[in-house]
Amino acid sequence: MSTSTERLDALRGGAAPVDHNARTVAALAGNPGCDRRAVLDAAGISKRDTAVHLGHPAPFGQSPFALARARSFEELVKADRCAHLLRLLREALGLPIPAIAYLDIPQAGGQATRELRHARTRKELRQAAESAVRDGSGDGTLVDHPLFTLPVAGHEVYLDPAVLAVQAGSRFHIVEIKSFAVIDGAADSAQVAAASRLSAVYVYALKAMFAAEGIDPGLVSHEVVLVCPKDFANHPTATLLDVRLQLAALRRQLSRLTRIDRILDRLPPDLTFSLEQSPAELARAVRAAEARYAPECLSTCEMAYFCRSDARECGSLEVLGRVTRDDLGGLDSVDAVLDLAADDRRTASEHDEIAEQLRHVHAIYRAHTAAEAVVA
């Protein structure tokens, strides 16, 4: 472990490490085959700065209006020691919470380091769990600003969730506050899906923490409390979100993630992604870690524009999207597709079935577009 930590520090060069968050873990699990992303994330390298240095900045950013809206909604929900939230948990969800202890971790710890905050989170949740098991139900506990850790690709990362953990009866729920609207009982499905993936990361981390403490991870509910504004107003509403599916996907993909040591073993020993080097040198270094580009990366990974440019350069089919890649199953480059389509000699290959379809489409396509060219 220490050796791989040293190597990761060396890869980062002199820069300070950036934090993982649930978003990056969820994205990592969404593309588990990408070595490049795994290494950059495990080493805590700023992908944003790297992409900028490489000349392929990602146009990510959040509007100040969206940030302000998210902040004001969260403040509203958490105002008066989560008065709104408790009402929602009791009324809307019928959670059995007679009285509740509200614990705010950063406030208690002051300028606490991450280790201290994490230790405090662990202690409070362990006590809550023990008393819950002992008494059966009893009073609830609401932990604000908890800090979780999660082993990702063999490397421990801290998760600083903007969420709360609430204990109701003997069950623990993750509470996620989002500012997208639930209109007539339905919200934008893409945003709900993203929220479920994020929440699943927290549920997973909490379960892992319980397991490490010797507490039954089954106490952590797979139902997440999602708090959103209702209709077009600012009033919060709460929904229970079942994240079992996302949890299973996350567990499978995190376990499949090639352990970071194994990726590191394949990299040259003196490799560094330090931003001190020239863009060309950095590009060479980054290319040493293999990427698996897909257009979905464009919305989740800061490196995507660099990887896309490389994928285009070598005529990869990946740039055309998953549907096309699946349609042309087995073929990996634009040239392979077009050569096979135009191959009248019917050279035998392992791609016989798709080759036959392509030759067929090619013939029809040529006949019709040629006819059109004559008309035009």
Partner 1 sequence: MSVVTSYARALAVREGRAQPVATVRHLHLAADPLVFIPLRLAGEAAAPLGAMVGSHPARPHLLVVPQPRNRDLRFAFMAELARIMLPYIEGRAAATETVPGKNERERYLDAPQVIVPGRGAVEFVRLLGRSTRFRSADGPYPVDPAVPVLGQWLTFLYERTEFAGSSALVPMTEALSLHWATGQSPMEDANLATLLAWICPPPGHTGQEAAAAAEDPVRWPPAGPDTDPGFDARVLRPAIDAYDASGSPEPVREALRGQLEPTWRLMWQAVELLRGRPEAASVGDRWAADRDRYTREVARVAEGGPPRGRRDQAGSAAARLWDMESARQSYDAQRAYDDPLVMAEHRATGKAFAGEVVHVDRERTILLPGGKKPVSRPLVTVRTADPVRLAPGKKVFSAHRRRQSGEVIELDGDLVVVQLNDQLAKGAGVPGVGDAVCFTELDLGGRIRPGFPAAEETPWTHGGPPAAYVPTDEDAKEDWS
Output 34 or 45, the one with its CB closest to partner 1: 34
List b or e across 256-294, with b for residues whose CB sees 16 or more CB atoms inside 10 angstroms: ebeebeebbeebeeebbbbbeeeeeebbebbeebebebb
Helices (H), 178-243: 189-212
Of 289-308, binders to partner 1 (CB under 8 A) are 295-296, 298-299
| 360 is a contact residue toward partner 1 (CB under 8 A) | yes
- Least Å from the CB of residue 217 to partner 1: 35
- Least Å from the CB of residue 85 to partner 1: 20
Q: Which residues, in sequence order, are CB contacts of 273 under 8 Å at separation 6+?
A: 11, 12, 13, 40, 43, 45, 50, 282, 285, 286
**What is the token pair recorded at 334?**
């634009």
* Contact status, residue 66 vs residue 178, Cβ threshold 8 Å: no
Contacting partner 1 (CB under 8 A), which of 163, 275, 317, 355?
317
Output 15 or 338, the one with its CB closest to partner 1: 338
**114-143 mask for partner 1 (x: CB under 8 A)?**
------------------------------
| 23 is a contact residue toward partner 1 (CB under 8 A) | no
Contacting partner 1 (CB under 8 A), which of 1, 79, 183, 193?
183
Contacting partner 1 (CB under 8 A), which of 235, 244, 252, 266?
235
| 96 is a contact residue toward partner 1 (CB under 8 A) | no
**What is the token pair recorded at 282?**
């950095």
DSSP string of 292-338? ---GGGGGT-TTHHHHHHHHHHTTBGGGG-HHHHHHTTT--BHHHHH
Interacting residues with partner 1 (CB under 8 A): 59, 61-70, 179-181, 183-185, 188, 229, 231-235, 295-296, 298-299, 312, 315, 317, 319-321, 323-324, 326-328, 334-335, 337-338, 341, 356-358, 360-365, 368-369, 372
